[in-house]
Amino acid sequence: MQVLFHLPNIQQKILEFDTNNKFNQIDLDRMKEMDNIEKIKVKSSRELVKNMQYLFAGMLLSNVKYQDPTKVLESIVDDNGVGLSIYEQKDIGEFFLNFLERMQDGLGENKDIIRKMMTADLSEATRSTQMSDKIDSQH
């Protein structure tokens, strides 16, 4: 969560998402065609985004050193719409891919948008670090 928080594009996308407008007309039309598992995934994914907003807002506005991510973790479901057990050891790669898919579902985004945003942020961070290292080595 902390890595995503420090990626400006991701942070902005999550914080600016309107969770009060739960579902726009396209979502409602799409949901009519979905089976129950898909509906659960979409609703849980929206809850995930809302919980991410609370977490990120707390990280931005609070002076405490730790924010509890439990609500975020409890709102993640697998591809079958079943909540993930946060107390079981899982493969981090699998977990993170599932997490990104649910976040993209919750934001109503194209599946590649979040990954592209992450790549852009990470590329920019790498360039900045390289420039900083270059400047430091010249002094």
Positive/negative CA dihedral, 105, 111, 112, 113: negative
pLDDT tens, per residue, the chain with 139 residues: 888 888 888 888 889 988 776 555 556 666 677 788 888 888 888 899 999 999 999 999 999 888 999 999 999 998 888 888 878 887 888 888 888 888 888 887 655 666 677 676 556 655 555 555 566 566 5
Tell me which residue of 116, 120, 122, 114 sits closest to 98, measured CA to CA.
Answer: 114
pLDDT at 72: 93
Tell me which residue of 30, 40, 26, 28 sits closest to 79, measured CA to CA.
Answer: 40
Q: How far is CA 113 from CA 104, 107, 131, in A?
A: 8, 10, 27
pLDDT at 136: 58
Q: Supply the range of the domain harboring residue 128.
A: 2-138
For the chain, the first-to-last Cα distance in angstroms comes to: 36
pLDDT at 134: 61
**Do 96 and 39 meet the contact criterion of CB atoms below 8 Å apart?**
no
How many folded domains does the chain comprise?
A: 1
The model scores a pTM over 0.85: no
**Do 102 and 38 meet the contact criterion of CB atoms below 8 Å apart?**
no
Cα separation, 79 vs 87, whole angstroms? 19
What b/e sequence results for 6-17 when a residue is b if at least 16 CB atoms lie within 10 Å of its CB, and e otherwise? ebebbbebbeeb
DSSP annotation string for 77-109: B-TTSPBPPTTS---HHHHHHHHHHHHHHHHT-
- What residue type is 8 in one-letter code? P
